[in-house]
């Protein structure tokens, strides 16, 4: 029986995508080979890479000044690769500490160059996104974690600043339309909203990239290397890109990002309403900054935490245990998770409250 999958990533994949990916893994379109067996320079693979890039641009409406490339190493690698490419020795990268991934970004960028931490919500256990901060005059760009997967906060609106925004969108990529003019670079690893683990999508404003005073970095980490070789400088993670392409097709066929945003808002409202109304549970994040992707909450009777986890597990709900350093519960509701699964979780919360 299929589970109700609230895992934070790797996460839910549309059933139709899994079916098509399974066929492609066995044999791809009469080639006599699995897609995973094809050369990364085979015409079939190159066509999939190009289609996946085109679909990202189509779904968001990116113009010709933006380039889409596919890289390895996940978001963690991009925390270092981005400042390698974008930060010169005369400027700083501005960051706001909103949680686990912002903390990692601060450390990674600090190993490359100067970092200005503008504000932090660490003292309140990252229960909100700081609003009162000033961008320093020497900031080259503002690095934001669009959605904190572990702590459960999300930028509902992106700030107006005088420099480009570099955004780690790993857990809310392809979930809503964006004010594109604000961004110089966006990156997201695939295992949340658009595929399986193994590839990372990077969207770059080429005009901004070319205007940077470049520091000396290894060729393999240079964004321009991957732009010029159409993401095929080395052996690309071909099967993860293929699955990403299938999910991108599915996203477009569902109606695009506006439809994804509407569905995600409905799912989040259903769960947060229950969290707020059920006396046995309480939210971990202030209402204005709650993530639509990762709802973090706690039980008001801590001795029942494991009991509730066992109860939901017995009813085929998986993946809601909070991150070890945070505790509590976390329900991840990415694009492919159906509303029906959220309703099942809400019903279980109500039943559990009646019993306890």
Please confirm, yes or no, whether 172 is among the known catalytic residues: no
The answer for residues whose C-beta is within 8 angstroms of residue 181's C-beta and 6 or more apart is: none
SS3 296: strand
Q: How far apart are CA 53 and CA 350, in angstroms?
A: 43
Strands (E), the chain: 4-5, 66-71, 92-97, 114-120, 139-145, 165-168, 183-189, 200-205, 281-283, 294-299, 317-318, 329-332
Please confirm, yes or no, whether 168 is among the known catalytic residues: yes
Catalytic residue chosen out of the listed positions 127, 168, 222, 289 = 168
**91-113 burial string, b = 16+ CB within 10 Å, else e?**
bbbbbbbbbbbbbbbbebbeebb
Catalytic residue chosen out of the listed positions 101, 155, 208, 250 = 101
Please report how many Cα atoms fall inside a 13 Å half-sphere around the Cα of residue 169, on the Cβ side: 23
Catalytic residue chosen out of the listed positions 70, 127, 192, 267 = 192
Whether residue 299 contacts residue 281, with contact meaning beta carbons closer than 8 Å, is answered with yes
Please confirm, yes or no, whether 347 is among the known catalytic residues: no
Active site residues: 101, 168, 192
């Amino acid at each position: 029986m299929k589970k109700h999958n609230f895992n934070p990533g790797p996460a839910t994949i549309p059933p139709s995508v899994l079916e098509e990916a399974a066929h492609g893994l066995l044999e791809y379109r009469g080639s006599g080979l699995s897609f995973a067996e094809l050369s990364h320079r085979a015409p079939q693979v190159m066509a999939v890479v190009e289609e996946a890039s085109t679909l990202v641009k189509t779904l968001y409406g990116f113009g010709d000044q933006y380039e889409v490339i596919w890289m390895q190493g996940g978001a963690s690698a991009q925390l270092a690769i981005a400042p390698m490419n974008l930060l010169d020795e005369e400027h700083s990268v501005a960051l706001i500490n909103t949680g686990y991934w912002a903390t990692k970004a601060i450390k990674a960028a600090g190993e490359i160059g100067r970092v200005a931490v503008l504000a932090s919500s660490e003292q309140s256990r990252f229960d909100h996104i700081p609003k009162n901060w000033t961008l320093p005059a020497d900031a080259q760009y503002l690095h934001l974690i669009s959605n904190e997967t572990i702590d459960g906060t999300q930028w509902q609106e992106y700030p107006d600043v005088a420099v480009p925004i570099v955004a780690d969108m790993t857990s809310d990529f392809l979930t809503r339309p964006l004010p594109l003019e604000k961004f110089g670079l966006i990156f997201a690893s695939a295992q949340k909203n658009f595929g399986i683990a193994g590839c990372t999508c990077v969207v770059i404003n080429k005009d901004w990239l070319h205007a940077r005073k470049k520091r000396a970095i290894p060729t393999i980490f240079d964004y321009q290397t991957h732009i010029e070789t159409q993401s095929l400088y080395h052996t690309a993670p071909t099967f993860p890109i293929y699955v990403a392409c299938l999910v991108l097709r599915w996203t477009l066929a569902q109606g695009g990002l506006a439809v994804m945003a509407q569905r995600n808002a409905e799912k989040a409202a259903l769960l947060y309403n229950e969290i707020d109304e059920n006396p046995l549970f309480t939210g971990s994040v202030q209402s204005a900054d709650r993530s639509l992707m990762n709802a973090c909450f706690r039980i008001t009777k801590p001795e029942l935490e494991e009991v509730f986890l066992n109860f939901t597990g017995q009813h085929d709900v998986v993946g809601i245990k909070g991150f070890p350093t945070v505790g509590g519960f976390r329900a991840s509701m990415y694009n492919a998770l159906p509303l029906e699964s959220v309703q099942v979780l809400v019903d279980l919360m109500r039943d559990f409250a009646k019993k306890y």
